[in-house]
């Protein structure tokens, strides 16, 4: 098994959080999680999602067996705040693989990294990775780390069908007959 950690490369399909400190939203949630200088925050509207596009180096067709999302957050106001994290990617050959954590809670300080684990998978990676954080209460959440980790068996990519070879015998003409 091989493990690859994927950082946010760009903003994804839902872009509803604010960059508070840092060069950009993707950079703000990269490791190392330097909470004092880079983080994003949601407002007090419940259900706001910040998605990111990830670009893993694993080949299409690699068999994903586990997905982990590491996240480090704190509450943005006086009360603890709940949120979830999740992911989605295309499966080679069609379909989508996705998962979402149960409720996670942002406390007064950043504390330790929390990890959502989706294990027991056996799906061929096809591309188009997005992962996200969403607040689930009308409370502020601040996030300084959001990354996704794949455990997988490397694949060759492309089609699984082997090329077919044809054997042809080339003869010669002797006295007008093909031999």
Cα 143 from Cα 134, distance rounded (Å): 11
- What's the pLDDT tens digit per position in 59-111? 999 999 999 999 999 999 999 999 999 999 999 999 999 999 999 999 998 88
DSSP-derived 3-state class of residue 109: coil
Which three-class secondary structure state does DSSP give residue 28? Answer: helix
Instruction: Give the whole-angstrom CA distance, residue 32 versus residue 39.
Output: 11
Range 155-172 average pLDDT: 43
Mean of all residue pLDDT scores within the chain: 88
**CA–CA gap between residue 94 and residue 110 (Å, rounded):** 39
Domain boundaries, the chain: 2-178
Is residue 117 within 8 Å of residue 75, measured between CB atoms? no
106 token code pair:
């942002």
CATH class assigned to 2-178: mainly beta
> H or E segment at 146?
strand 141-153
pTM across the whole model? 0.85
């Amino acid at each position: 098994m091989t493990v690859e950690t994927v950082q946010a490369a760009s903003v994804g399909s839902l872009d509803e959080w604010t960059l508070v400190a840092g060069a950009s939203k993707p950079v703000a949630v990269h490791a190392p999680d330097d909470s004092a200088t880079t983080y994003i925050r949601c407002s007090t509207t419940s259900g706001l999602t910040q998605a990111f596009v990830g670009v893993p180096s694993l080949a299409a067709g690699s068999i994903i067996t586990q997905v982990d999302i590491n996240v480090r957050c704190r509450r943005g106001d006086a009360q603890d705040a709940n949120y979830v994290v999740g992911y989605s990617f295309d499966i080679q050959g069609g379909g989508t693989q996705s998962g979402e954590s149960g409720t996670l809670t942002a406390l007064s300080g950043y504390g330790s990294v929390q990890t959502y684990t989706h294990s027991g998978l056996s799906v061929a990676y096809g591309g188009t990775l997005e992962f996200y954080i969403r607040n689930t209460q009308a409370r502020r959440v601040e996030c300084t780390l959001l990354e996704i980790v794949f455990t997988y068996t490397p694949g060759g990519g492309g089609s699984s069908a082997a090329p077919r070879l044809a054997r042809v015998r080339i003869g010669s003409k002797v006295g007008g007959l093909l031999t």
